[in-house]
């Protein structure tokens, strides 16, 4: 007997705003909607094979993060003149959030300038409001490392913010 999953629509109704916020924070306003859309399509396809109904919000946001990173890599790949993926820099020269004319106190420019892993961690922790075990799983690292990345990111942001 499989797990008893809620109707998918209840997930959409409960979490679509959170998925869209995370997609926009990681991919910027230009790609944000596409990334969110892609995340929902992938989640819908994978949904019946889920083996647990626990932390569905975390599952959705983890998929969103992965889609944002895929979009990011796709964009970086298009930007290099030859198709040599191995020669890509670890982070694309302009992080997606940087091309946003986001109303803030220069926060998003600073977030965009963070090292990529720190940027992902701090956005997953605070924009998506995920706990460290879930952030760590999304980043493929340990909760201890997730804590470190987040606190380093916050320290930088606090120092640089006007």
Which residues make up the interface to another protein (CB under 8 A)? 4-10, 12, 16-17, 19-21, 24-25, 29, 32-33, 36-37, 40-41, 44, 47-48, 102, 104-105, 107, 110-111, 122-123, 126-127, 129, 154, 157-158, 161-162
Residue 4 or 87: the one with the smaller Cβ distance to another protein is 4
The tokens describing 18, both together, are 């959170």
Tell me how far, at minimum, the Cβ of 48 lies from another protein, in Å. Answer: 5
Question: Which residue number, 77 or 126, has a Cβ lying nearer to another protein?
Answer: 126
- Cβ 14 to another protein shortest distance, Å: 11
By beta-carbon proximity to another protein, the closer residue of 53 and 80 is 53
Rounded to a whole number of angstroms, the minimum distance from the CB of residue 145 to another protein is 18
Residue appearing with tokens 């198709």: 83
Task: Give the whole-angstrom CA distance, residue 11 versus residue 61.
Answer: 12
In the bound state with another protein, the residue whose beta carbon lies nearer, of 8 and 116, is 8
User: Would you call 59 helix, strand, or coil by DSSP?
Assistant: helix
Give min distance, CB of 90 to another protein, in A: 22
Closest CA to 114 of 61, 149, 142, 153: 153
């Amino acid at each position: 007997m499989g797990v008893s999953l809620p109707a998918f629509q209840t997930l959409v109704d409960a979490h679509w705003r959170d998925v869209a916020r995370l997609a926009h924070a990681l991919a910027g306003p230009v790609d944000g909607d596409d990334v969110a859309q892609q995340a929902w399509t992938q989640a819908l396809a994978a949904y019946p094979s889920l083996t647990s109904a626990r932390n569905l919000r975390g599952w959705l946001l983890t998929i969103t993060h992965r889609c944002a990173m895929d979009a990011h890599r796709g964009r970086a790949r298009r930007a290099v003149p030859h198709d040599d993926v191995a020669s890509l820099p670890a982070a694309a020269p302009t992080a997606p959030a940087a091309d946003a004319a986001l109303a803030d106190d220069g926060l998003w420019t600073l977030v965009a300038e963070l090292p990529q892993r720190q940027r992902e961690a701090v956005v997953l922790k605070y924009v998506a409001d995920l706990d460290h075990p879930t952030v760590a799983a999304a980043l493929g690292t340990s909760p201890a490392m997730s804590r470190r990345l987040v606190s380093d990111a916050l320290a930088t942001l606090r120092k640089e913010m006007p």
